[in-house]
Structure 1
Amino acid sequence: MSLTASLDESSVAATPGEETALPLQVLNSGRTVEEYRFEVVGACAAWSAVEPAVLSLYPGDSGTVSLMLRPPRDSTVPAGETPFGIRVVPTSEESATVVPEGRVTVLPFTETTAELVPRSSHGSWSGQHRLAVDNRGNTPVTVRLGAQPGTELARVVFAVPELRIEPGRAEFGKLRVRPAKRMWRGTPVTHPFQVFATPRVAEDQEPLEPVLLDGSYQQEPILPRWLPRALVVAAVVLIALIGLWYALLRPAVKSAAREAVTPDAVRSAVEADKSASPDGENPDGGGPSGADSAGGDSAGSGDGTPGSSESPSPGPSADAAATAPTSAQVRVSDSVGGGANTGTALRVPAGQTFELTDIVVQNPQGDAGTVVVSAGPDRRVLSLGLENFRDSDYHFVTPILVPAGGTVTMTIDCRRVGRPVGAPAPARCTESLFLGGNMRPE
């Protein structure tokens, strides 16, 4: 082999936001002048480079290049040890490539920011806020939450005393401001307070400065200012209505009742009472009232014409009775770069036809890609982009007919997996299909 390459050190520590150089010795042990190219291999390749990128050596000569490590000071590069390699490629004989290997340790750093949402609150009983804490460092951090009331008239209480935050993530701590005394009436009072978020560090490290935020809570009276006036107005209106009743409406009702009780009215009531019998008999001692007419209706007319009868109402048709409402659903998952994945929601039985009228497609994770709903092997019903919706429903006035043996399927082609808010990142795209319609015989 006409090439020898070695690192001065097999491991190195790199500080985020700073530049670290690691020398690489190259020896040309061949008989011709050679030019060498360098390529960084590994997770650190995105923030590393070899300077100079090309080196020419005479036979028997050696040279030095430097691996420049520049890890960014953000959460994209986690703290810890990462292996790497430097591919040294001779231009004239690429098969003689050598790859010296090493390890770089990215040092941890802690950086947190916070925001109080909302800054000001108001209410009669308490005020509610949320303290949003962002971890902009490259290592998990535990943050202690606390508060300092501006006065003794209010107390700040956190739902949890600490938050553990992963790199590049944010967590919310709920807090409530409660006044020391209730205020039934009067002018609203403002209570200032201050909250802080302090990152916890190891005992051998220097403590970090807490993030301080100012807020306020306006305590409002329990009874609104307009309530006494409203009660007075309601009492005045009630008294006026009672006076109006006794002054005008009550005498008029009594007068109308007296005028209604006349001799003619009494006589008519007595005659109506006498004409009524216990079993519906007439006063002249005859049979039950309406007996002859009832008999005539039953026997019909004397010329043999049958009496009229009520025809039955038409019942539901046989086709309507045989039609059955049908629904189905399917859930399909797909990986990025793995090709499309298909799931069957419904297969039409033999001798039946399915009338597809409703479709609901759900994308709860916010994935990106394509979804195709088909009613048969060559019949696309819908073709949608996942990034354009979360929930989408379609209703057809004219049903889509799926014959016996046909299937309704959903095909997913995942390009990017979504990331739900406040939940672990999923590994695959996952979508759901719900359909509805009627199953009828052919």
Structure 2
Amino acid sequence: MSVSASLDESPVAVQPGGEVDLLVQVLNSGDTVEEFRFEAVGPCATWVTVEPAALSLYPGASGTATLTLRPPRDAHIAAGERPLGLRVIPTSDARHTVVPERSITVLPFSEITAELVPRSSHSPWRGRHKLAVDNLGNTPLAVSLSVQEGTERARWVFEPAELTIPPGQAKFAKLTVRPVGRLWRGTPITHPFQAVVTPLGEERVGGRTRREPVVVDGSYEQQAILPHWLPRALIITALLVGLLAGLWYSLLRPTVRSAAREAITPEAVQSAIDEDKNKQGDGNQSNGSQPGQNGGPSAATGGTGTGGQNGTGAANGGNSTGTQGDTAGTGGSTAGNGNAKPGEPGGPAAPKSARVQVRDAVGGSSTTRDAYTVPQGKTFALTDIVVQNPQGDAGTLTVSSQDGQLLNLALENFRDSDYHFVTPIQVPANSKISISVSCREVGKPVKAPRPVQCSESLFLGGSLTADAQPNT
């Protein structure tokens, strides 16, 4: 069996959206009657049809079929040379299939659309739009953007002013509208305009472009800077301020003055004078000027006695023995020391704080560390305890002193916890405040490697006072 087929070699150019016919001639060189089927192959196969779909030929006879090329008007059908093949298949023996080939030309076409978003803008200062330009053709397209002004009271600016758009794609340009003058108040002003998209590099026919530009209508409404409700709001505000001022001067101010006059009574004045005297007396005592302290005047000038009888013994209104005078003088010199420092005998309490950190591994016995040891001759008033569990460990934390446990906490129940005592916990001299940690599971901080040990911290706060010295 032998078969031969050939495609018409005349030039073929087809416009997307149109159609072109192409002939194929088939010769049956065999000695039997044969039916031949046709199948288009190649990138053009989807839009090629063959009539008839099959052809029966006697031995030595030839026949003709027609290929119809109908490329769709789509941006994906690229312009240029395209290969075309036709598979001619004998029904009785497909091994003798032949495939004649040739090339065809797909012509370019251009088609653009444009859309303005939003179509209308509203603002006292400027209008902002976006112009979307779609290239529906099968070749790259360069366009220029401009505005046909409907009024001279505004300015329009495209950014960018030109676009190059690949086939089947869209690009955007910003359009800004700025009014020439400001509108402070009054009726809004509408500025109409037309956005024009003009293809560049188009062939000119008779002095005009073959492709008409695309025109999109839009508008910008220039609103007043001061809203229409502002005058009314100012008037209402002024009325309210006047009403409140009238209420104050007519009702509230006389009432306040009357209440103030009634509050100033002789008893209130005498109470204020007495309170001021008490404060002055307290100040004199703190400065060591009260009787019997630092050898004050009342202690030293009580009278005259024999054998060293000057001293506080005379304060009782008469003379006393020399021994009594000496004793009183000594007492007066030692009882009041107004220059004592904080934390020393006779002085005020001194603030004191301590901090300790404890690490403990999982398993085994607990780890204990002393946070603070009270010095000899002092008393520590504990008012604040802060415990921290920054890793989120699990286990037990115990704070204790020689008198027993102060706190017993489960680590999994807190990260930071603080305790403040209205009545301070008194810790005597030489006593220790310690922290004990028993680690059951090591926590994992956020975005950090897991530690190998539990880590807890203790902060103590309070004041330190000196114990009272026995009198000699």
CA shift, 1:23, in A, is 1.0
Residue 266 of structure 1 pairs with residue 361 of structure 2 = no
Q: Name the SS for the 1:323 alignment partner.
A: coil
Matches within 5 A, 1:35-434: 35-203=35-203, 206-257=209-260, 259-260=263-264, 262-276=269-283, 279=286, 288=346, 298=379, 311=406, 314=409, 316=411, 318-319=439-440, 321-325=442-446
Identity %: 52
Distance in 1, matches of 2:408 and 2:238, equals 60
Distance in 1, matches of 2:194 and 2:213, equals 12
Q: Name the SS for the 2:232 alignment partner.
A: helix
Corresponding residue number in structure 1 for 2:31? 31
Corresponding residue number in structure 2 for 1:428? none
Tell me whether 313-322 or 222-231 shows the greater mean CA deviation.
313-322
Letter paired with 2:76: T
Q: Name the SS for the 1:72 alignment partner.
A: coil
Distance in 1, matches of 2:22 and 2:116, equals 44
Corresponding residue number in structure 2 for 1:9? 9
Tell me whether 87-96 or 199-208 shows the greater mean CA deviation.
199-208
Distance in 2, matches of 1:5 and 1:193, equals 62
How many residues are treated as equivalent by the alignment? 321
Gaps of 5+ in 1: 300-305, 328-347, 352-442
Q: CA RMSD in A?
A: 3.4
CA shift, 1:290, in A, is 9.9
Corresponding residue number in structure 2 for 1:365? none
Distance in 2, matches of 1:172 and 1:32, equals 66
Instruction: Please tell me whether the aligned partners of residues 193 and 215 of structure 1 are also in contact (alpha carbons under 8 angstroms).
Output: yes
Cα deviation, 1:368-419, whole Å, max 9, x if unaligned, reads xxxxxxxxxxxxxxxxxxxxxxxxxxxxxxxxxxxxxxxxxxxxxxxxxxxx
Letter paired with 2:107: L
Q: Name the SS for the 1:311 alignment partner.
A: strand
Instruction: Please tell me whether the aligned partners of residues 131 and 173 of structure 1 are also in contact (alpha carbons under 8 angstroms).
Output: yes
CA shift, 1:70, in A, is 0.4
Q: Name the SS for the 2:406 alignment partner.
A: coil
Q: Name the SS for the 1:74 alignment partner.
A: coil
Distance in 2, matches of 1:175 and 1:56, equals 66
CA shift, 1:32, in A, is 1.0
Cα deviation, 1:331-350, whole Å, max 9, x if unaligned, reads xxxxxxxxxxxxxxxxx99x
Name the TM-score, length of structure 1 as normaliser.
0.64
Letter paired with 2:406: S
Instruction: Please tell me whether the aligned partners of residues 202 and 211 of structure 2 are also in contact (alpha carbons under 8 angstroms).
Output: no
Change (3 A) 1:101 1:282: farther
Distance in 2, matches of 1:229 and 1:158, equals 40
Gaps of 5+ in 2: 294-334, 337-345, 350-375, 381-400, 413-438, 453-472
Instruction: Please tell me whether the aligned partners of residues 134 and 170 of structure 1 are also in contact (alpha carbons under 8 angstroms).
Output: yes
CA shift, 1:204, in A, is 5.8
Cα deviation, 1:125-171, whole Å, max 9, x if unaligned, reads 12222222222222221122111111212222212112222222222
Distance in 1, matches of 2:290 and 2:255, equals 40
Change (3 A) 1:290 1:171: closer
Distance in 1, matches of 2:100 and 2:402, equals 113
Distance in 1, matches of 2:271 and 2:290, equals 21
